[in-house]
Amino acid sequence: MEETSQIHVARKTVQLGVFSPEEVVAGLASGRFQSTDLAWTNGLAAWKPLGEWSEFTGTSVAVPASPADAGSATVAGEPLTWEKSKGLRSAWISFTEVLLRPSPVLTVSRLELGSVLSLAWVLGAVAALFLIVGGSLHAEANAAFQRQQAAQMFESISGAKGSMDWLLPWAEYLQKTEPASVAALTVQGVLLVLFGPLLNLLLGIWVWLGLRLLGLFGLTSLRQADFGRTVAAFVLAMAALGLLAAPINLLPASTGAILGLPLLIALLVLACRAVGAAVRVNGWAVFFSLLVLNFLACCLMGCCLGGLVAIIAR
């Protein structure tokens, strides 16, 4: 049997093993598998219940699977390596799993927030090394680029006849930029490691709110989005993607600025895929939930600011 025809089967967060289509049919008939068990094979975008596979439609389940059967069928355990053992090697393997195989891996991982945060700190520490080394190599060039940005901002402010004066403090700050020392870069790296995962935790809560909001608009699959798995998956995805983007710090800031926007879009798409896999919904649903939530937040903020201006103007 070719590897591409093998089917991975999981029940909740327990991977039951890899089976041929014939074994799955037999398992459904005998009660070893249930129609609600999740399954995935190469080429499939996401895990989906066996009951939704056209190949197994009409297969009757004779006897419900017992917990003992599920336990005896467990082969691979939890696929996220970091959840099994801690260490630099397992951190690297989990990093590649999240990037290359988010759907088959995150769908059946435990994704406990404490474990995920510890992995995020490890990945953040490695990313911080790129920041320190790259910042040291290009300290003069990066400072010159910041001062150039300040000059362009001053030019735009002067041509706008007062409408952009609110940018003056930022332009003045950039104008005073000096080459960063190794000590200053090290402090930045430590702050990135300590507070980056915590910031992503708050953003993960925002993502969960977006999913629940979109669920209220009619997507019933999003109404049951698990809070813990959503937040943990977002934290893990951002940590992995942050490490993926970290080598850009080895380039001068002028080059990094050119790559920034395409890289940001790519990271957003990959993060949505990871969260979608963790909560077992389409990644595009995660993306559109963020669009809807951010749009409503901007509208609400605009209304509040408008009301405040109206009150002050009276």
For residue 183, what pLDDT is reported?
Answer: 95
Question: How would residue 131 be classed by pLDDT, with cut points 50, 70 and 90?
Answer: very high
What are the structure tokens assigned to 89, written together?
A: 């090697």
pLDDT in tens, 58-103: 654 444 444 444 443 333 334 678 888 888 999 999 999 888 888 7
> Would the pLDDT of 168 be above 80?
yes
Query: Which DSSP helix (H) or strand (E) runs through 92?
Result: helix 88-100
Using CB atoms within 10 Å of the CB of residue 71, give its burial: 0 to 12 exposed, 13 to 18 middle, 19+ buried: exposed
Question: How would residue 264 be classed by pLDDT, with cut points 50, 70 and 90?
Answer: confident
The 10 Å Cβ neighbour count of residue 127 is 23
Q: For 14, phi and psi rounded to 5 degrees?
A: -110, 120
* C-alpha dihedral (201, 135, 151, 263), degrees to nearest 10: -50
> Would the pLDDT of 189 be above 90?
yes
Using CB atoms within 10 Å of the CB of residue 160, give its burial: 0 to 12 exposed, 13 to 18 middle, 19+ buried: exposed
Q: For 123, phi and psi rounded to 5 degrees?
A: -65, -35
Give SS3 for 63: coil
Give SS3 for 65: coil
pLDDT in tens, 212-260: 888 777 666 677 778 888 899 999 999 998 999 899 999 998 888 888 7
> Would the pLDDT of 12 be above 90?
no
Q: Is the model's pTM score more than 0.75?
A: no
Look at 265 and 218; give whichever has higher pLDDT.
Answer: 265
For the chain, the average pLDDT equals 81
Question: How would residue 18 be classed by pLDDT, with cut points 50, 70 and 90?
Answer: confident
